[in-house]
Structure 1
Amino acid sequence: MSEYPRFGAGLWHFASYLDRYATDGYAPPVSTIEQIARAGAVGDLSVVDVPYPFTEGVTVEDVKAALAEHGLEAIGVTPEIYMRRFSKGAFTNPDAAVRAEALAFLNEAADVVRALGAKYLKVWPGQDGWDYPFQVNHHDQWELAVSGMRELAQANADLKIVIEYKPREPRNKMFWDSAAKTALGIKAMGVDNVGVLLDFGHALYGGESPAAAAQLLIDHGLLWGMDVNDNLRGWDDDMVVGTVHPVEVFEFFYTLKINNWEGVWQLDQFPFREDTVEAAKLSIRFLKGLHRALEEMDMDALREAQARQDAMGAQKLVQDVLFSCLRDEP
């Protein structure tokens, strides 16, 4: 069997959380440095996506030292452009001064990407969008979102920038809401350093087939990163990968394999009430079993079944290999 891929995780996986009910949080606050230590305790992680700004008092040098201490690298930096000051949007805010503030902050985060030697700047503009019919002019939103990303890309031509799309939350409707719209927006930018980070759960609860979304982005040369997790399809639950939709997760990774896509298999999960390190370990256990299943899958037989659109034949092949390989994982 070939070597396992590199595994990664968003550093937020190891933080503590609150919601509109448990407003005091589900655990004491966890600093950026403590999150890195927890990520290092997983054992199979090699990279992390680092939110910016760091927790209070933590510097870039502190983060570099902590990553080195725990044998980790930064794959990306995710600037928090979805907080209160950007509640009406970052790129699409109606106030030009706020849009300028967002761009300045993103450029600052780009410098952190350089300082950490990360692979990309990840843009998740969760507040860009709308909540009610007639709230926005959709033509103007398109122009602001696309031109803002273009300006960011041109100001940081030496870096890769990835957009993580999502159908909704925190806005009732996010601007970058699907693989197709994000691909169209990137094409309209006319730059070559912007791609897509596909979050499996976002595609799933947005009504997409994650595998089909991945294929679309690969065909257009835009799948530059991915996150995996799981959900109950009605919300971005960010559950442990494979706990709800193991077959669709398998199809997603099958699509990556047949297209020779090589990249980090990265977790984007929020274990609110669970031990964060154990949740990551269980996720990677599943991913290792899935990797073995991909190695053992009879690809020719599956292609023949697909050529006939033989749903039952394809399902039998998938079930036989996927669930037997998972049983072999310790």
Structure 2
Amino acid sequence: MKYALISMFLGPTKDRFSTYNEPKTLDEKMEMIESMRGVSGVELVYPYEVSDVEDTKALLSRHNVEVAAINVNIKGEPEFKSGGISNPDPEVRAKAVRYIKQAKDFAQAIGADKVTCCPLSDGYEFCFQHDYVQVWEWMKEGFAEAGAYKPEIPLFIEYKPNEVRGRCVLEDASKTLLMIKEIGNPDIGVTLDYGHSLYGGNNPAEELALIHNSKVKYYIHINDNDGRWDWDYFCGSQSLVNYIEFIYYLKKYGYDDFLTSDTSPTRWDIKKMFETNARISEKISNRFDEIGMDNLSVKLSNEEYLDTWQFIEEQILRL
């Protein structure tokens, strides 16, 4: 497995009350990634962190960092406050689509193989706030247009239950898959964020299995939380057995892309947090190699779950 992180988490981050960590230049961020044990890639945020092709390529080369994805932001502009790709104003919707297309241009120019987008401003808070079908159709039309542009650079749509809206339109894997299936473009995929799945009341491993079985492409963000909010804790700190099962299915399905840390360091050492994500993920992966994936697969079909649990207890957790 290979590991990356989202570059914006190496600088200042905010919650409703506080700001954490000091600003860094992109060069300083790349230098930090280069120094991290087990981390070799970066997801860059467009257009707010990167926009100059040659400068970005030079920094990536100088620090020997790969690009996991280009993350395009369609929520930050003031006009996106009532939605980006589903905004009632057709000019605002067109701007959101244009941002995604420009992100694809940028990705291709620097050698990235995908663009990911989390439409967080597309949602609602109250009853009778908008026409659900109309908003769905606007989102579908926008993603269809953006996905059809430069299909050699696939677009991955990231779902989330809420934030910045009270409820996001694309809140879980099922709704995201439904939209992608309605669009019918094989070059549009899903970004599965482990924490978004977990605090949305879902099982990340089950959603991964659902996406894989649908034959839709997928890309992975890793982190952890307590199931009540998107805290962006480090991997395994709150839901270790769930995360072990998630890694099992990634290995079972032969996932060979980056596991990208969508993890906010806030009060904790930045370098240590991302190294921890890579380290714990790699240890779990290696444990499955030691046990043998087939041995656990046999246990999954065992009607008596306590026998399966004893296997997990002794062979995986080594208690």
Whether TM exceeds 0.5 here: the answer is yes
- 2:291 aligned with 1:297: yes
- 1:267 equivalent in structure 2: 261
- 1:81 equivalent in structure 2: 74
Write the letter of the residue equivalent to 1:294.
F
Write the letter of the residue equivalent to 1:272.
T
Equivalent pairs counted in the alignment come to: 318
Contact kept, 8 Å, 2:2 with 2:258, in 1: the verdict is yes
- 2:277 aligned with 1:277: no
- Residues 188-199 of structure 1 correspond to what in structure 2 (within 5 A)? 188-199=182-193
Q: Give the one of 188, 206, 211 matched to 1:212.
A: 206
Distance 1:309 1:171 in 2: 42
Write the letter of the residue equivalent to 1:292.
N
- 1:14 equivalent in structure 2: 10
Distance 1:174 1:220 in 2: 22
Distance 2:293 2:277 in 1: 25
In structure 2, the CA distance between the partners of 1:309 and 1:268, relative to structure 1 (3 Å rule), is farther
- 2:237 aligned with 1:243: yes
The Cα offsets for residues 210-229 of structure 1, whole Å up to 9 and x where unpaired, read as 11100111011124210111
Offset, 1:32: 2.7
Offset, 1:317: 1.6
5+ unaligned residues in a row in structure 1: which ranges?
326-330
5+ unaligned residues in a row in structure 2: which ranges?
none
- 2:67 aligned with 1:71: no
- Residues 78-227 of structure 1 correspond to what in structure 2 (within 5 A)? 78-83=71-76, 84-227=78-221
The Cα offsets for residues 104-140 of structure 1, whole Å up to 9 and x where unpaired, read as 2222111111111111010111101111111111110
Distance 2:308 2:48 in 1: 46
Distance 1:152 1:242 in 2: 35
Offset, 1:300: 4.5
Distance 1:74 1:85 in 2: 29
Give the 3-state SS of the residue equivalent to 1:318 in structure 2.
helix
Contact kept, 8 Å, 1:198 with 1:226, in 2: the verdict is yes
In structure 2, the CA distance between the partners of 1:258 and 1:16, relative to structure 1 (3 Å rule), is same
Aligned-residue CA RMSD in angstroms?
1.8
In structure 2, the CA distance between the partners of 1:292 and 1:321, relative to structure 1 (3 Å rule), is farther
The Cα offsets for residues 184-229 of structure 1, whole Å up to 9 and x where unpaired, read as 1001002121011111111111111111100111011124210111
Give the 3-state SS of the residue equivalent to 1:260 in structure 2.
coil
Write the letter of the residue equivalent to 1:208.
N
Distance 1:225 1:267 in 2: 12
- 1:308 equivalent in structure 2: 302
Contact kept, 8 Å, 2:233 with 2:264, in 1: the verdict is yes
Contact kept, 8 Å, 1:49 with 1:76, in 2: the verdict is yes
Give the 3-state SS of the residue equivalent to 2:314 in structure 1.
helix
Offset, 1:172: 0.8
- 2:252 aligned with 1:258: yes
Give the 3-state SS of the residue equivalent to 1:9 in structure 2.
strand
Distance 1:62 1:316 in 2: 54
